[in-house]
Amino acid sequence: MSMSRVVDGPGFRIRYDGQPGYLRAHVYDGTDSLQVSMAMWRMLGEECRVRAATRLLVLEELQGTVDTVNSGQIIDAMVEAGFIGVRIAFVELLDDIQGNEVAETLCLERGIITRIFSEENTARRWLLYGD
């Protein structure tokens, strides 16, 4: 099922593309916030469920960034959205992520396998083939 479609979220849009072996989700057209992040992960989790995807490549192209003090709440939302056991490569297109090691570690402690990247090719390679 490699259809691509664009979905409107609350304050952003997501373009989904089914790729061989993974789901690609480009999040754009908005400004990041705690609310936006939590809504985004809920929507991504639902799409992964519908497509039975176990690997997810997220390209985030949103203005601004969420304060790392909110990482715990966002990770709670990811757990609730069903991301335990899903491998997630997260590409931050606009920002240099502060505190990404913190977020990666918190995710791992909760059973979510994720790595944060600054460009898509490296992210895709890790997603499909590991370290």
pLDDT computed for residue 95 by the predictor: 73
Q: How many CB atoms lie within 10 A of CB 21?
A: 13
pLDDT of residue 103: 82
| Tens-digit pLDDT string for the chain (131 aa) | 557 999 999 999 999 999 999 999 999 999 999 999 999 999 999 999 999 999 999 999 999 888 878 888 999 999 999 999 899 999 988 876 655 778 888 899 999 999 999 899 999 999 999 87
Q: Whole-angstrom Cα distance, residue 3 to residue 103?
A: 31
In this prediction the pTM is 0.92
Strand-strand pairing, 22-31 and 55-63: parallel
Neighbours of 119 (CB within 10 A): 11
- pLDDT at residue 66 in the model: 82
User: What is the strand order of the sheet 12-19 is part of?
Assistant: 4-9, 12-19, 22-31, 55-63, 87-92, 113-117
* Cβ-contact 118, 91 below 8 angstroms: yes
- Phi first, then psi, for residue 5 (nearest 5°) are -150, 155
User: Distance between CA atoms of 13 and 53, rounded to whole angstroms?
Assistant: 20
